Amino acid sequence: MQLDLTADVVTLTQQLVDIESVSKGEQAIADVVEAALTPLAHLTVTRHGNTVVARTDLGRSERVVIAGHLDTVPLNDNLPSRLDEETGLLHGLGTCDMKGGDAVILRLAATLPEPNRDLTFVLYECEEIDSEFNGLNLLSQSHPELLTADFAILMEPSNGVVEAGCQGTLRVDVRTTGERAHSARSWKGVNAIHKAADVLARLNSYEARKPVIDGLEYHEGLNAVFVRGGVAGNVVPDECVVEVNYRFAPDRSEAAAEQFVRDFFDGFEVTLTDTAPGALPGLDRPAAKAFIEAVGGPDAVVNPKFGWTDVARFTVLGVPAVNFGPGDPMLAHKQEEFVPVDQIRSCERALTDWLGETR
């Protein structure tokens, strides 16, 4: 199969959707993307596994990375694509998450040989599975220079409005210990589950931090997500573990977030089990300001991103980033996944207007 980069963005989305590309099975789609981009004389195209990178090198004063993942979750009887002309909805696996965004990227790559900013387009593999396979993560380790930029846009579905940055996330195990005893003689032991009451009390009394960053109010969260404990129905347990998830605003580093949690649970054994950094919105940067105005005018709606996305990988590299793409993120991974075609077109139009052309 060949991609037609001269086709309209909705047709191109359909072409991408109809290429099955479940995580770790992206070779076919990466092959056609590479083949479509390589003949474009204004781009330098490189392949890294099943991640394709295409760059302009025009000597502009700013560089912007525009990225999207090529993989999808497993099929669920939702291929091939189906366009409902009456409702204006394109149905099928990956329509929302995120081949509509990928189609916009490819159209920009094909139609803007002289953009007003240098551009790096990244279409990468394995976003939907463990981070160790994530193409953007691997690229940031092997070729970080390819992701150097003043600003980045991740075209994850955001209903066609800007969601700036993202919050970080970490998980810890908060452990209490006691002494086993027969439950008929419980006073001979120490109940570790009962001792966890103070852990839960502290969580109940937690007051969320709500920092304002670049005019956006983030809302942190500290929550118990699992409780593990117990030996048998007639035994006083000697251990209890409360697993706690902390969603922290992007003005906090992973180290600062971890220290906050350790201080919060002072007196308890705390073990860090997982962590990922947040991403600063960087809306004070000239490229970001121009982007916001281009996509929404002076009164543009910009929302903070409370969940975690790959924009965080750009913060590690010192690049402010936002999420901006067609589709409702609530439909991602659902069997009935779809994307409004008007959103695909409006995202393409907004980015084309922002990047313009210098002739």
Q: At 191, which CATH number?
A: 3.30.70.360
Same-domain status, 263 and 284: no
Q: At 160, which CATH number?
A: 3.40.630.10
Q: What is the mean pLDDT of the chain?
A: 93
How many domains is the chain built from? 2
Same-domain status, 147 and 190: no
Mean pLDDT of 3-13: 96
Q: How far is CA 55 from the centre of its chain?
A: 22
CB-based contact 310:155 (threshold 8 Å): no
- The residue written with tokens 């600003």 in the block is 151
Same-domain status, 37 and 177: no
Residue that terminates a domain, selected from 245, 273, 301? 273
Beta strand residue intervals within the chain, DSSP E: 44-48, 51-55, 63-69, 82-84, 89-91, 118-124, 151-154, 162-164, 168-177, 181-182, 212-213, 216-217, 221-229, 235-236, 239-248, 269-276, 302-304, 321-323, 338-340
Range of the domain at 141: 9-166+279-355
* Of 174, 154, 150, nearest in space to 162 by CA: 154
pLDDT reported for residue 56: 98
Q: Which positions ≥6 away from 87 have C-beta within 8 Å?
A: none
Domain assignment present for residue 1? The answer is: no
**3-state SS assignment for residue 261:** helix
Same-domain status, 210 and 307: no
Same-domain status, 215 and 289: no
pLDDT in tens, 118-159: 999 999 999 998 888 999 999 999 999 999 999 999 999 999
Mean pLDDT of 7-27: 97
Q: Can you state the percent helix, strand and coil of the chain, rounding each to 5?
A: 30, 25, 40
Domain assignment present for residue 4? The answer is: no
Domain assignment present for residue 184? The answer is: yes
Give the relative orientation of helices 100-111 and 341-355 as an angle to the nearest 10 degrees: 30
Residue that terminates a domain, selected from 220, 243, 273? 273
CB-based contact 226:243 (threshold 8 Å): yes
Same-domain status, 204 and 108: no
DSSP category for residue 74: P
Question: Could you list the active site residues?
Answer: 71, 127
Q: How far apart are the first and last CA of the chain?
A: 34
Same-domain status, 251 and 120: no
Is pLDDT above 80 for 359? no
Same-domain status, 61 and 33: yes
Same-domain status, 107 and 172: no
**3-state SS assignment for residue 181:** strand
Same-domain status, 343 and 199: no
Residue that terminates a domain, selected from 208, 240, 273? 273
pLDDT in tens, 71-111: 999 999 999 999 999 999 999 999 999 999 999 999 999 99
